[in-house]
Copies of this chain bind each other. A is one copy, B any other.
């Protein structure tokens, strides 16, 4: 598999981390989940993301999980591994393990104490030095980190660091940031791949501004795939029809707190993983939450039939 580079595009699904009902890492479900994502058109997978259950894994489990996923994907997509760490020594060590296992690149978020432009710039300069030749995505997620990265800081980093190849854009929704970066690209600034997160909640607008695709974990990857494909085909109205059909459920899944539990509930319901369990401690869905999700799925399926996508 080639390394990650600036031309990455399409849908990179943020993969769930499957556990058994008693909290053991479920590698058989990991296989099933890979098949589920790839069959629905994923171009890549992102593992051990910041907001998932990665921090609940031991270092050994993390490596075992990456290894299993890479083998199952077997070259049918790129693997990006989240390696954000409180220190560079462990970031280097995680990166080495991930790349050895066959990942295409890694992803690093800004730690929450960064404030000034120069602090942010220096941090990622140090990241690039620590990672050596490994290409990386910068995860820009102010809602979670509190760190706001100005477009010109991203452009300075892009100009200085050849291994910085992708922006995981999750600045809620930050449409103006995408526009600013793409305008700079037209003026000759080095062009990064931009994949967008936020549960896909702004995907049509993000693509229209110049994003190259989505990187998010919504339990219906066919939404992101469908929207990206319709957008590429120039059929904006079709892209919106698909998007709008899924939006009520995507919105529900994007809740702080129980959103991840809802996502795993749906993945289990769809057969992608064996158990919806989160490893403890973590929220569980109440009967009322489950009723919400079931109603949203029923309405989604009805709406998909109406727009001829069921």
Contact = CB atoms under 8 A, between A and B. Distances in A.
Interface stretch (A2-10, A101-109, A171-179, A220-228): A171-179
A251 interface: yes
A185 interface: no
Contacts of A191: none
Protomer copies: 4
A125 B222 CA distance: 40
Interface residues of A, number: 66
Interface in A224-269: 236-237, 240, 243-244, 247-248, 251-252, 255-258
B292 A205 contact: yes
A122 interface: yes
A159 interface: no
A258 to B, nearest CB: 7
Residue in A57, A123, A256 with the greatest tally of chain B CB atoms within 10 Å: A256
B176 A281 contact: no
Interface SS majority for chain A: helix
A75 interface: no
Contact of A57 (B87, B122, B256): B87
Which of A93, A126, A209, A248 has the most chain B CB atoms inside 10 A of its CB? Answer: A248
A59 interface: yes
Interface in A139-162: 142, 146-150, 152-153
* Top 8 A-B pairs, shortest CB-CB distance: A55-B86, A115-B148, A55-B87, A56-B87, A116-B150, A117-B117, A58-B89, A126-B281
